[in-house]
Structure 1
Amino acid sequence: MPFIDVTIGLGRSPEQIRSLIHELTEAAHRAIEAPKENIRVVVREVPETHWAAGDVTIAERRAAP
């Protein structure tokens, strides 16, 4: 049973999240021929203040001039 765990920044609409789940499910189904009902997808949304690269949060990067 494939388990796809995705972490993205907070702020997507429910429709965008649903589309992502659909596309990931379809991709796994095509790539490894897994039955769709056996594919699990978890989408974790993280606030921009809790996600950093190089000691700078996404929120700080967006706020920078």
Structure 2
Amino acid sequence: MPFIHITMATGRTPEQKRALLAAVADAVHETTGTPRESVRAWITEVDPSAVIAGGVILSDRRK
């Protein structure tokens, strides 16, 4: 039973998060043969002011 933890900055819609989780479950199923109902995936959201990428705080980049 695979466990997939996705950490990303807040700001996505519920629909985007559902689509992401479904795509991850599909990818695991297709690449490993794991039944979709056995795939566990979840999203942890963090405030964009608490993440840096390429030397720039994400909340600053979004302005």
Same fold flag (TM > 0.5): yes
Runs of 4+ in 1 over 2 A off after TM superposition: 53-56, 60-63
- Stretches of structure 2 lacking an aligned partner (at least 5 in a row): none
* % identical aligned pairs: 38
- Stretches of structure 1 lacking an aligned partner (at least 5 in a row): none
What RMSD in Å do the two structures reach over aligned CA positions? Answer: 1.4
| Residue correspondences, number | 63
Q: TM-score, normalised by structure 2?
A: 0.86
Q: TM-score, normalised by structure 1?
A: 0.84
Q: Deviations 1:30-63 (Å, cap 9, x if unpaired)? A: 0000011110001111111111136642113334
